[in-house]
Amino acid sequence: MSVPKNSKPVKLVIGLFMQDKGLCGPLAASLEQEFGPIDTVSAWLPFDYTAYYEDEMGAPLFRRMLTFKSLIRPGGLPDIKLTTNGLEQSCLNSGKRRVNIDPGYLTLERFVLATGKNFTHRIYLAKGIYADLTLIYQKGGFQKLPWTYPDYEDRRMKAFLEKVRRKYVMDLTRTTGPEI
């Protein structure tokens, strides 16, 4: 019989992509108000894996990843996604999004994103939000799955997430002690 245990706290990771890089500063400030100080920021990465968003957001698009100093409980992901949806709404221009904000979390074993869209591999959490298992950590690195979005399987993204994972190990040790 399995014995239920509370999960370890997880590392909040939020991805943003947009055409106007100038939106990043104000959005980062809003995210800090909601989730506390930012811990790590990725370099700008080109978001050129699909033309899906171009009609709405323009081109070229750029992605930036943010992580936060405070660890969170994974059960908070639906509320985080609803908060980031509100931030996207606040940036609309003539009814079109100017930014896409993808919150998720990183653990020692996986990287999970929140989404409002159901699909075969997504697990319903609460409040209309699903968990998308995006990457798994095996054999010393993040591994893609058949449904992983191309931008998350990019080597630069994986390198950033591996850096975040190393920081997360240190954060966990400070938070929960050496037995991680």
What pLDDT is recorded for position 180?
45
What pLDDT is recorded for position 49?
85
What pLDDT is recorded for position 152?
95
What pLDDT is recorded for position 40?
93
Q: Estimate to the nearest angstrom the gap between the alpha carbon of 24 and the chain centroid.
A: 15
Q: Of 22, 19, 13, which is closest to residue 48 (Cα–Cα)?
A: 19
What pLDDT is recorded for position 178?
53
What pLDDT is recorded for position 176?
66
Summarize pLDDT for 57-97 with one digit per residue, the tens.
Answer: 999 999 999 999 999 999 999 999 999 999 999 999 999 99
What are the strands, taking DSSP E only, across 6-128?
10-18, 38-41, 45-46, 62-72, 99-106, 110-115, 122-126
Q: Of 92, 97, 11, 101, which is closest to residue 63 (Cα–Cα)?
A: 101
**Phi and psi of 77, rounded to 5°?**
-60, -40
Distance in angstroms (rounded) separating the CA atoms of residues 104 and 112: 5
What pLDDT is recorded for position 50?
87
- Domain ranges in the chain? 10-175
Kindly give the parts of the chain with pLDDT less than 70: 176-180
Share of the chain above pLDDT 70, in %: 97
